[in-house]
Amino acid sequence: MNKKYKLMVFLFLVMCIFLSGCGSTKVLSPTHTPTATLTPTPKPINDEEFAEAAREVCSSLKTEIDSLNKFILFDLTSKAEAYRKAADALAYLDITEQSAPLGIYFLSSINDLASSFDIVGKALSEAIAKASLDESNISLAVTGDGTVYGSTGSIFESKKLEVDPTMIKELLQLIEQVNEAAISLNLEDCAIEN
């Protein structure tokens, strides 16, 4: 073989080695093919672990609810926001209906409660304005059938507010559900005081 061809073969072999993917520092090493490492998927937490993780969230919720203006008894919008924040904080916990059925029920109930607080709060504000009552100095009374009465003075001066009784009964039922789940999970700070 002539020198020209030997040089070309030599250069071709050198070029093949460098292009093989080994890298310049590992010229004659075998190529490295990455393999997928299997990481175990985390196991969803159970009701007891959910309750333990939720204690701090419920404590913060209680502090926020306690700080609301006590003179505005129907400030349901602020309560809705507080419960929505608690639900968002708890939504990051890895629970399923199989692993933590009570936790799922509790989380679903406080989400529904937050939405109901918003809807009822808006309806109450509109009804109070329509009845020409002073929002800052009002007492509300709810009957068993969901009828709401508002009064800024004595009970004899109370007015029936135009609020859908079904909406009020649904809110009361959601409050009962949240309280029941909170007590079952030993999360009394998330319960709603009546």
pLDDT, residue 178, reads: 94
* Total-model pTM: 0.72
Low-confidence winner among 72-76, 90-94, 98-102, 133-137 (lowest mean pLDDT): 72-76
Position 42 scores a pLDDT of 75
Between residues 49 and 76, the one the model is more confident about:
49
Scanning the structure block, which residue is given the tokens 């701090």? Answer: 56
Distances (CA, A) of 62 to 65, 83, 161, 189: 5, 10, 29, 5
Residue 9 Cα to chain centre, angstroms: 68
Radius of gyration of the chain (CA): 32
Where does residue 37 rank: exposed (0-12), middle (13-18), buried (19+ CB within 10 A)?
A: exposed
- List, for residues 130-170, the tens digit of each pLDDT value: 988 877 778 888 888 999 988 887 666 788 999 999 999 99
Decide if 189 contacts 57 (C-beta within 8 A).
no
CA gap 181, 39 in Å, rounded? 34
Picking from 108, 84, 83, the residue whose alpha carbon sits closest to that of residue 95 is 108
How many of the other CB atoms lie within 10 Å of CB of 55? 15
pLDDT of residue 177: 94
Domain boundaries, the chain: 47-190
